[in-house]
A and B are shown apart, each in its own frame.
Chain A
Amino acid sequence: MSEKKLTLALMDPPYESANSTTALRIIAAALQQGIHVNVFAYEGAVCLPLKDQAPHANPVKGTTVEQEEHPTTKAFVSELLKICNGQPLLNWVNCGLCVDERGAGNVVDGVKRGSPADFLKMAQESINTLVIPTK
């Protein structure tokens, strides 16, 4: 275990829980410290990097898409994947079975497909593993 690595398991789908925001904050802070981060997205969390997400206008407030600046989790994941120190620091793996169940295979570049066996490997090579479950 020569590299500093942290693994997170995420389960919440996007736009449902503050857990997603906190998870993304933890990932960003770790990457900014040069820590290699593994993410295993399970269940609804496989939709966090879904490419089909689209920002929208708000007809109630009368704002346009540009004025609304609606944040999408796919954009956050994309930006986190770009943080690197000569080599990518973030390894994001979506659970393949969870992806198939949800038809969520169209994801942003850099997101991989895997299985719980990958999560075991990630945990074994990391200093710590944080599981953020759904309520």
Chain B
Amino acid sequence: MSKYLLIESRDPFESRDTEFLVQTATDLRHRGHEVVVFLVQNGVLAGRQSAKGSYLGQLASAGVTVLADNFSIRERGIKPVELQAGIKLSGIEELVDALMQKNTKAIWH
């Protein structure tokens, strides 16, 4: 079993190819791999409760861990209480920790 770290920087309302992330993350999880999605930059916009049709619910129900960069959230005026349930507030230090875990495959999108 491998660990996958998918870093999503794109706004789903701007880039339809964020569906790639959902498909990849859920397929990897269904195959038994540990999957973490780290939302950064405009990727955090999908994490708001008010984001209609957000794909993040699919990830949570598939057992994917979803983290959101606190700096990106502050930059965009999003309060932690506005995030969807299941999204954990995180930071760049935690991203570095995840990158330094052995056998972790990191993909930036």
**Given A128-B104, A130-B106, A19–B41 Cβ distance below 8 Å?**
yes
Residues of B within 8 A of A30 (CB): 96, 99-100
For B41, the closest partner residue in chain A by CB is A18
Interface membership of A4, Cβ < 8 A: yes
- A25-B92, A26-B92 given; A127·B100 CB < 8 A: yes
* Contact (Cβ within 8 A) B104 A33: no
A132 is an interface residue with CB less than 8 A from chain B: yes
Question: Closest 6 CB pairs between A and B?
Answer: A18-B41, A29-B92, A25-B92, A29-B96, A128-B99, A30-B96
Contact across chains for A26 and B42 when beta carbons are under 8 A apart: no
Scan B97-109; emit 1 where CB is below 8 A from any A CB, else 0. Answer: 0011110101010
Query: Given the complex, which residues of A lie within 8 Å of B95, measured CB to CB?
Result: 26, 29
By size class, the interface of chain B is: 10 to 19
Proximity bits, A97-135, B CB within 8 Å = 1, else 0? 000000000000000000000000000000111111101
Residues of B within 8 A of A22 (CB): 9, 40-41, 92
Which residues of B52-90 are within 8 A (CB) of A? Answer: 71
Task: Please name all residues of chain B whose beta carbon is closer than 8 Å to the beta carbon of A6 when the two chains form the complex.
Answer: 96, 99-100
Determine if A131 and B102 form an interchain contact, defined as CB atoms under 8 angstroms apart: no
Please name 14 further chain A to chain B contacts, defined as beta carbons within 8 Å, in addition to the given A128-B100, A130-B7, sorted by A numbering. Answer: A6-B96, A19-B41, A22-B92, A26-B96, A26-B99, A29-B92, A35-B100, A127-B99, A128-B99, A128-B101, A130-B99, A131-B108, A132-B108, A135-B10
Majority SS at the chain B contact face: mixed
Ordered by A's residue number, 12 sampled pairs between the chains whose C-beta atoms are within 8 Å are A6-B100, A25-B92, A26-B92, A26-B95, A26-B99, A29-B96, A127-B100, A127-B102, A128-B99, A129-B106, A130-B99, A131-B108
Q: Is A128 touching B106 in the complex (CB atoms < 8 A)?
A: yes
Chain A contact residue count (CB 8 A cutoff): 19
Residues in A neighbouring B10, C-beta threshold 8 A = 135
